[in-house]
């Protein structure tokens, strides 16, 4: 077969041109070259893109859309279960509930750093200890759990209970600081083993304080808070070279984790429902009644047929079934991971213990105002600037304590942290997205949404207590002239509701609940400063960066 010389020439020319363009393209996008300016950028100063790593104990939950609040068995016929379409961003969540062992690590750290025998910190440790008396019952013998459940090794992997909402939030803050402290130490930004050997009440580590003012973190000790040069050198005008000036870790360094926190109600319900297991293409094939597939609470698999798929109360006087028979294997709580995980890899999203979430309780989810990362409870704050114009770091002299309605004293902040104040007009002026620090009552519970509200009337300023939408009891704790605590119990017969701004949502059924409450959409509320023997918690962490870790496929 004859080949046309002109054709061969054209083919060779096209190959040469293509190679030339590829070379130019490769050169123009070479490492260190900025796509914004074309300048050569020091790659050691500007961090390359990389994915967020999951924090200890967390699993990835890819975000998406779901129907929040829709339940198949709505025997109450109340507002709580009104279905709304919501979208949740990707996040991370604890694989299991926080266990006694995990919480004891927290107690041990607090006790070692803020000794209960030190007059300055005597209330810090007592404020984080769970209430073990939640196990007591007027007509039941539960002293074994009262004395042993928190600390006995036999219960180490059982979910912690007796923790109120405020204590759960404080645990998440502590966990954030300990995880980041360990990461910074591993990467050479903190002295090796300083997190255990050198920590005191006066130089404890705070993530936010380190990020805002690293030179003052850990008590300002240069021997503990280190600077890294990353091996870089600087060339002077005379041609000599010297080691570059050290740098502290920053958010742009990419190693500092976002904060651990309680999940929002929307996140928790989305993660518990795990509709991803029902997905085909871009739709869900129906909504699951429980975190597992199917309409029943018992397993249909051959190897464990008849076993309950969660730990819950099966009827009056039936917390664990008949001895020796296939059942849920527990009477009170059970060790985490005792039951199969859901399609996100999360354990005990139904049964065992119910769980605190971040939201303030309101009967209605307001999806007309927002259907993206829904959350009610935002209290925006900012760093406090002292009289000297610098950040005010908390010390033992300016620590704040809160006395709860039940008389328990809890530290609001700890030494080493940055003092916080509500945002003011400097942050809210002419903004459209928020206009004040406290947004708990937005579109609900405030005067504008009360049926007794008379817009523009001066009488609104003097409205009666009974006219408010949420007229809940107001218990109060004060101190008399001798320093004795005085508890004032509100016995008014004119109260119309238990709902107020300190009532928090808890989700999921517990070992005390019937199967009705195992539905992820069910929601209840409880005072944030009180604890029970059936409410625990798990932590979450926001995902930064991409929505997904995997390439999309038509089917699971």
Residues 491 and 520 in one domain: no
Which residues neighbour 500 within 8 Å (Cβ) at sequence distance 6 or greater?
A: 470, 472
pLDDT of residue 548: 87
Q: Is the pLDDT of residue 273 over 60?
A: yes
Number of independent structural domains in the chain: 2
Point out the least confidently predicted range of 15-24, 247-256, 393-402.
15-24
Pair 161, 114 in one domain: yes
Instruction: Please report the pLDDT score of residue 132 as a whole number.
Output: 96
Q: Is residue 263 part of a domain?
A: yes
| Residue 278 clears pLDDT 50, i.e. is over it | yes
Measure Cα distances from 164 to 149, 358, 411, 504 in Å.
Answer: 16, 12, 14, 10
User: Does residue 114 share a domain with residue 156?
Assistant: yes
pLDDT at residue number 261: 98
Q: Which residues pair with 260 in a beta bridge?
A: 541
Structure tokens at 44: 């050691």
Q: What are the tens digits of pLDDT across the range 32-88?
A: 667 777 777 655 555 556 788 889 999 999 999 999 988 777 777 777 778 899 999
Assigned domain for 191 exists = no
CA separation for the pair 333, 348 (Å, rounded): 11
Q: Given this model, what pLDDT does residue 298 score?
A: 74
Per the model's pLDDT, the better-predicted residue between 462 and 103 turns out to be 103
DSSP line for 410-477:
EES--TTSBPEEE--HHHHTT-SS--SSB-TTTTTTSGGGSTT--TT-GGGGG--GGGSS------EE
Residue 168: CB atoms within 10 A of its CB come to 26
Q: What percent of the chain has pLDDT over 90?
A: 55
The answer to whether position 421 is within a domain reads no
Q: What is the model's pLDDT at position 405? A: 87
* pLDDT attached to residue 481: 80
- Is the residue at 411 inside a domain? no
Q: Give the pLDDT confidence of 199-248 residue by residue, as tens digits.
A: 999 999 999 999 999 988 998 898 999 988 765 555 666 666 665 567 89
Characterize 534-554 residue by residue with b for buried, 16 or more Cβ atoms within 10 angstroms of its Cβ, and e for exposed. Answer: bbbbbbbbbbeeeeeeeeeee
Beta bridge partners of 478: 486
Is residue 358 within 8 A of residue 265, CB to CB? The reply is yes
162 falls within a domain: yes
pLDDT of residue 28: 44
Contact (CB, 8 A) for 93 and 537:
no
The confidence score (pLDDT) of residue 26 equals: 47
Mean pLDDT of 6-21: 57
C-alpha span between 348 and 97 (Å, rounded): 7
273 alpha carbon, distance to own chain's centre: 18
Considering only CA atoms, which of 344, 345, 350, 326 is closest in space to residue 514?
350
Buried b (16+ CB within 10 A) or exposed e, 181-193: bebbbeeebbbee
Quote the Cα angle for 138-143-147, to 5°: 140
Mean pLDDT for 8-37 is 57
Whether residue 24 has pLDDT greater than 60: no
79 or 147, which is more confident: 147
Do the Cβ atoms of 89 and 547 come closer than 8 Å?
Answer: yes
Pairing type for strands 283-284 and 279-280 reads: antiparallel
- Give the residue with greater pLDDT, 34 vs 354: 354
- The residue-averaged pLDDT of 439-444 equals 90
In this prediction, residue 470 carries a pLDDT of: 82
Q: Are residues 357 and 470 in the same domain?
A: no
69 in a domain, yes or no? yes
Give the confidence band of 460 by pLDDT, cuts at 50, 70, 90.
very low
Residue 407's alpha-carbon distances to 127, 238, 402, 477, 479, in angstroms, are 11, 70, 9, 6, 10
CATH number at residue 530: 3.90.1580.10
pLDDT of 516 > 60? The answer is: yes
Average pLDDT over residues 186-195: 92
Terminal alpha carbon distance of the chain: 52
364 and 454 in a common domain: no
d(CA 489, CA 519): 35
Q: Is residue 203 part of a domain?
A: no
Q: Are residues 480 and 362 in the same domain?
A: no
- Pair (352, 300) in one structural domain: yes
What 3-state class would DSSP assign to 86?
strand
Say whether both 332 and 473 belong to one domain: no
Please give the Cα distance from 272 to 547 (Å, whole number): 19
Main-chain phi, psi angles of 379, to 5 degrees: -125, 95
Q: Are residues 269 and 363 both part of a single domain?
A: yes
Tell whether 493 and 512 lie within a shared domain. no
Cα 226 from chain centre: 29
Q: Give the strands of the sheet with 503-507, arranged side by side.
A: 523-527, 503-507, 354-360, 535-536
Average pLDDT over the chain reads 85
Say which residue, 285 or 357, is predicted with more confidence: 357
pLDDT at 492: 87
* Residue 189 falls inside a structural domain: no
CB-based contact 328:310 (threshold 8 Å): yes
Q: How far apart are CA 3 and CA 7, in angstroms?
A: 7
In DSSP terms, 93 is beta-bridged to: 59, 540
**Do 94 and 336 touch, CB atoms closer than 8 A?**
no
CA distances from 45 to 51, 248, 327, 432 (A): 18, 12, 59, 36
State the Cα–Cα distance between residues 291 and 287, nearest whole angstrom. 10
> Binning pLDDT at 50, 70 and 90, where does residue 372 land?
very high
| pLDDT given at position 302 | 62
Tell me which residue range forms the domain holding 462.
441-500
Asked whether residue 271 falls in the same domain as residue 357, the answer is yes
Query: Does residue 352 register a pLDDT over 90?
Result: yes
Residues 275 and 139 in one domain: yes
Tens of pLDDT, residues 314-342:
999 999 888 887 788 899 999 999 999 99
Contact 370, 361 (CB under 8 A): no
What's the token pair of residue 433?
């997205």
User: Locate tokens 């209960």: which residue?
Assistant: 116
Per-residue model confidence (pLDDT) at position 27? 46
């Amino acid at each position: 077969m004859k080949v046309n010389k002109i054709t061969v020439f054209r083919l060779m020319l096209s190959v040469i041109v293509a190679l030339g363009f590829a070379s130019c393209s490769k050169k123009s996008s070479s490492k260190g070259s900025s796509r914004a300016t074309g300048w050569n950028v020091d790659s050691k100063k500007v961090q390359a893109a990389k994915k967020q790593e999951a924090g200890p104990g967390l699993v990835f939950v890819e975000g998406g859309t779901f129907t929040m609040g829709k339940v198949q068995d709505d025997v109450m016929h109340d507002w709580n279960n009104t279905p709304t379409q919501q979208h949740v961003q990707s996040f991370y969540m604890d694989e299991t509930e926080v266990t006694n062992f995990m919480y004891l690590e927290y107690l041990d750290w607090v006790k070692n750093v803020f000794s209960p025998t030190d007059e300055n910190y005597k209330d810090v440790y007592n404020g984080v200890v769970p209430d073990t008396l939640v196990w007591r019952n007027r007509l039941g013998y539960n002293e074994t759990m009262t004395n042993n459940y928190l600390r006995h090794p036999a219960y180490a992997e059982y979910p912690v209970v007796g923790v109120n909402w405020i204590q759960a939030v404080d645990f998440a803050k502590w966990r954030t600081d300990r995880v980041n402290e360990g990461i910074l130490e591993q990467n050479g930004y903190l002295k090796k083993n300083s997190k255990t050997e050198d920590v005191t009440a006066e130089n404890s580590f705070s993530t936010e304080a380190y990020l805002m003012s690293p030179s003052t973190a850990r008590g300002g000790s240069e021997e503990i808070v280190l600077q890294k040069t990353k091996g870089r050198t600087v060339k002077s005008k005379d041609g000599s070279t010297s080691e570059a000036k050290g740098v502290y870790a920053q958010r742009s360094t990419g190693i500092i984790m976002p904060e651990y926190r309680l999940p929002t109600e929307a996140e928790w319900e989305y993660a518990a429902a795990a509709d991803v297991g029902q997905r085909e293409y871009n739709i869900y094939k129906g909504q699951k009644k429980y975190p597992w597939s199917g309409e029943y609470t018992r397993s249909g698999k051959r190897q464990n047929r008849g076993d309950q798929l969660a730990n819950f109360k099966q009827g009056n006087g039936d917390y664990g079934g008949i001895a020796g028979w296939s059942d849920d294997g527990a009477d009170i709580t059970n060790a985490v991971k005792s039951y199969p995980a859901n399609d996100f890899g999360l354990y005990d999203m139904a049964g065992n213990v119910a769980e605190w979430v971040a939201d303030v309780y309101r009967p209605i989810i307001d999806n007309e105002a927002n259907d993206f990362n829904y959350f009610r409870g935002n209290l925006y704050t900012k760093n406090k600037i002292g009289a000297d114009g610098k950040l005010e770091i908390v010390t033992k002299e300016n620590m704040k304590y809160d006395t709860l309605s039940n008389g328990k004293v809890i530290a609001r902040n700890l030494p080493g942290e940055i003092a916080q104040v509500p945002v003011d007009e400097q942050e809210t002026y002419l903004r459209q997205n928020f206009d004040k620090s406290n947004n708990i009552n937005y579109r609900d519970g405030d005067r504008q949404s009360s049926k007794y509200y008379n817009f523009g009337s001066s009488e609104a300023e003097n409205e009666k207590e009974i006219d408010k939408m949420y007229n809940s009891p107001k218990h109060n704790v004060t101190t008399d002239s001798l320093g004795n605590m005085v508890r004032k119990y509100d016995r008014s017969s004119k109260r119309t509701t238990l709902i107020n701004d300190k009532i928090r949502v808890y989700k999921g059924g517990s070992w005390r609940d019937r199967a009705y409450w195992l539905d992820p959409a069910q929601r209840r509320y409880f005072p944030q400063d009180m604890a029970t023997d059936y409410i625990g918690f798990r932590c979450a962490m926001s995902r930064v960066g991409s929505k997904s870790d995997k390439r999309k496929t038509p089917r699971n």
